[in-house]
Chain A
Amino acid sequence: MNSGDTAWVLVSAALVLLMTPGLAFFYGGMVRSRGVLNMLMMSIGSIGVVGVLWALIGYSTAFGSDVGGLGLLGNPAEFFGLGQLLGKDQLSGTVPTLAFVGFQAMFAIVTVALISGAIADRARFGPWLLFAGLWAVVVYFPVAHWVFAFDTKDDAGNVTAVGGWIANRLAAIDFAGGTAVHINAGAAALALALVLGKRKGWPKDPGKPHNLPFVVLGAGLLWFGWFGFNAGSALAANTTAAVTLVNTLVATSAAMLGWLLVERIRDGHATTLGAASGIVAGLVAITPACSSVSPLGAIAIGAITGAVCALAVSLKYKFGYDDSLDVVGVHLVGGVMGTLLIGLFASSAAPAGVDGLFYGGGLDQLWRQAVGAGAVLVYSFVLSLVLALLVKAVVGFRVSAEDEAVGIDETEHAETAYHFGDGRSVRRSPVPADEVERKLEGSRA
């Protein structure tokens, strides 16, 4: 065990957890004031559901011994409950396996939370939690196995334990989750938006963001946490972590500028929401690529993706699906861009050690990237569609039209986010008011 590596992975895990509340603010600021708490709750709820499922079967399904040797699924029973991993000798590389378990748990959590941006203001909270749990088990855990579980090899190079097919057989590069996290969540978001349908009044009234400072706060927390997401994925305090950290900085900076440039040309103004959105698009794009490109390549990937995503968010108006907060436009499109651009900009000078098309590597890496992206996209979309239809049929997924008009915070959570003025309210509780009065009298006596 290496204590420096362990410290970095533990700190990175905490950074990545912060991304989920950060995402909650990023999304929460973008909805109307009457739905902000529900938006926050869909992210916070994901922490609850996925946090528990990860300990039960999630880690085991993603990183347990491959069932059947095809690289499709880990054995869910192998590490059920994680009790097998408490010993001092339980190491994963140079860090305790549980450090890796915790780090990867945060990925599962934030991936599920990402989906919720597509269904703002209209999904019932209980069915969302049900979908979140089902989706984590049926879609995320297996896909994490495909992408993140590497073969174990002995000193002679022979495979002793089989890992996921995308990481090993296909050898597509996805350093920190462009396919497993962003394409995966984006495709699921598209499926959910289609199953749930449009918000009342959309697209005539797309719902103006009620608090852009929240959006920027959320984007800032995401960026901060994302250094753990990407640089932590090195699983060591080493050169790879440093390269990925710098690439995460510069790609994101360029993406913000790319998005703002498109806005300035198209709409006449560089907007705050555009800057925050560009930041997230850049983070998404560099996630798969951060270990395989030079900082100049990262700038190119960021700038291209920032501009493309700024254009892609209008696709929903063209095709008529209400992806409320642009999970498809930012995460699916951004994830596909980052994954494919590896095939062009990868440089063997970077830690991943592969040359893309522009560095003399031909089309070899590009097709590997495309197959990986396409497989995850199709798998996630189809399974998400089935799960969403199942939840809809069994328990119902959408709030009533009346509840949607009143506001989902009040009808689903019995709360409102903002209280201006003194609006009269009277306490209604199980304890009769006169009994409270008597107690107060007693304490004064």
Chain B
Amino acid sequence: MKLVTAIVQPSKLDDLKEELGRLGVLGMTVSQVQGYGRQKGHTEVYRGAEYAVDFIEKLRVEVLVDESNVDKVVDGIVSAARTGRVGDGKVWVTSVDTVVRVRTGETGVEAI
């Protein structure tokens, strides 16, 4: 099993949810986060004085998937979250040892 974590633009959440639903992903966890990448946030101007705003609002989307589905889920997230502009985010995949469904005690793929 794998955990797919994606940092995406808040405006792309609906597209992402729709795409993952189409791919058969049944659940996801979304959290509001702040951060920056290589571009270091953005600049605001007030009466000619520039302010650097380092931390930008993003969403972190986490999805548990079976190994056989990882590639198409990652591809789906990348295509749904892409605007083509700086700050579109990142996706990474980590291995998961165990998953347990709290209600039933099921484990492994059954619990996803």
Contacts and interface: CB of A to CB of B under 8 A. Distances in A.
Interface in B51-90: 51
B46 A314 contact: no
Interface in B2-59: 44-51
A274 B47 CA distance: 6
B44 A267 contact: no
A128 B59 CA distance: 46
Nearest to A262: B48
Interface string A259-294: 000010011110101100100000000000000000
A351 interface: no
Contact of B51 (A208, A263, A266, A317): A208
Interface residues of A, number: 17
A271 B46 contact: yes
Nearest to A317: B49
A266 B47 CA distance: 11
B48 A266 contact: yes
A404 interface: no
A313 interface: yes
A314 B44 contact: no
A269 B47 contact: no
Q: Which among B47, B50, B51 has the highest number of chain A CB atoms within 10 Å?
A: B47
Contacts of A266: 48
A271 B45 CA distance: 8
A314 B45 contact: no
Contacts of B44: 208
A209 B46 contact: yes
B48 A310 contact: yes
A151 interface: no
B45 A313 contact: no
A409 interface: no
Interface string A184-228: 000000000000000000000010110000000000000000000
Contacts of A274: 47
B54 to A, nearest CB: 13
Contacts of A206: 46, 49, 51
A326 B47 CA distance: 9
Residue of A267, A274, A313 most packed against chain B (CB within 10 A) = A267
Contacts of A277: 47
A330 to B, nearest CB: 9
Contacts of B47: 273-274, 277, 310, 313-314, 326
A263 B44 CA distance: 13
A261 to B, nearest CB: 13
B1 to A, nearest CB: 37
26 contacts: A206-B46, A206-B49, A206-B51, A208-B44, A208-B46, A208-B51, A209-B46, A263-B48, A266-B48, A267-B48, A268-B45, A269-B45, A271-B45, A271-B46, A273-B46, A274-B47, A277-B47, A310-B47, A310-B48, A313-B47, A313-B48, A314-B47, A314-B48, A314-B49, A317-B49, A326-B47
Interface of A: 206, 208-209, 263, 266-269, 271, 273-274, 277, 310, 313-314, 317, 326
Given A263-B48, A267-B45, A273-B46, 4 more contacts: A208-B44, A268-B45, A271-B46, A314-B48
Q: Which 6 A-B pairs have the closest CB atoms?
A: A267-B45, A313-B47, A206-B49, A314-B48, A273-B46, A208-B51
